[in-house]
Amino acid sequence: MTDIIDKLQADLSEGRFLHSLGVAETARDLALRFGCDPEKAYLAGLLHDCATKYSNTEMLALALSEGLCDRDAVIDNPTAEFHAPLGAVVAKNEFGITDGEILNAIALHQTGDVPMTRLEIIVGLADAIEPSRKADKINAIREIAKTDLTRAYLEKCKLYMTNIISAGNPLDPKRVEVYNYILTLKQGFKP
Ligand SMILES: [Fe+2]
Ligand SMILES: [Fe+2]
């Protein structure tokens, strides 16, 4: 684990590294609270943003080589668009992570997917509520996360969609799909 942390610290900006440590610790706490593997949660949280070591140009080249987009695609912000799925690629190729559950949790930390595992929900939520995130609305989600994982994740989905719409940015349909799916989990199904 020390090797992974040292490499991550060397790879990432200081801010991103501290955020990653916060996500790792928050994910481990959530895993202990909601019955999930704390070590997997810690590792997925630690590495969730590991692909951000690459520049936009490198990220786009990597996305092309991994078949995540076409050569003629117009991508305004390759880091925002691809760092989550490419995080799984980097975690595997450069950090030696082979556990598919951890790699999926990294790949899905930004938009989520349908269906989602508990580990995936935990890492996606930890990304939003780790200690360095400061906002009243985040505090409210942090409170909910003390007792209700699914509702906390639902509130994260709502907040992020609202922020994206308020900023005038296009909303990935996947986010709507995930929101509707989490809503059904709230109505009785459990991940
Ligand atoms: Fe991220
Ligand atoms: Fe993050």
Tens of pLDDT, residue by residue over 96-132, are: 999 999 999 999 999 999 999 999 999 999 999 999 9
CA 156 to chain centre: 12
pLDDT-above-90 percentage for the chain: 85
Supply the range of the domain harboring residue 87: 2-135
140 assigned to some structural domain: no
Per residue in 6-20, pLDDT (tens digit) is: 999 999 999 999 999
165 assigned to some structural domain: no
Kindly report whether the global pTM for this prediction surpasses the value 0.85: yes
Whose atoms come closest to the Cα of 52: which ligand?
1
158 assigned to some structural domain: no
Can you tell me whether residue 146 is helix, strand or coil? Answer: coil
Give the CATH number for residue 33: 1.10.3210.10
What is the structure's pLDDT at 149? 96
What is the structure's pLDDT at 190? 60
Read off the pLDDT of each residue in 149-173 and give the average, rounded to a whole number: 95
Ligand 1 geometric centre to CA of 109 (Å): 7
Q: What integer best gives the mean pLDDT of the chain?
A: 94
Nearest alpha-carbon partner for 38 in 48, 27, 53, 52: 27
In the structure, what pLDDT confidence band is assigned to residue 71 with cuts at 50, 70 and 90? confident
In the structure, what pLDDT confidence band is assigned to residue 64 with cuts at 50, 70 and 90? very high
Evaluate if residue 189 carries a pLDDT over 70: no
Ligand 1 geometric centre to CA of 149 (Å): 19
Ligand 1 geometric centre to CA of 161 (Å): 15
27 assigned to some structural domain: yes
Amino acid at the residue 129: I
Query: For residues 108 and 3, what is the distance between their CA atoms, to the nearest angstrom?
Result: 24
Evaluate if residue 133 carries a pLDDT over 80: yes
129 assigned to some structural domain: yes
Nearest alpha-carbon partner for 109 in 61, 162, 52, 184: 52
Q: How many residues does the chain have?
A: 191
Domain count, the chain: 1
156 assigned to some structural domain: no
Dihedral in degrees, nearest 10, Cα atoms 138, 140, 119, 82: -20
153 assigned to some structural domain: no
22 assigned to some structural domain: yes
Whose atoms come closest to the Cα of 26: which ligand?
2
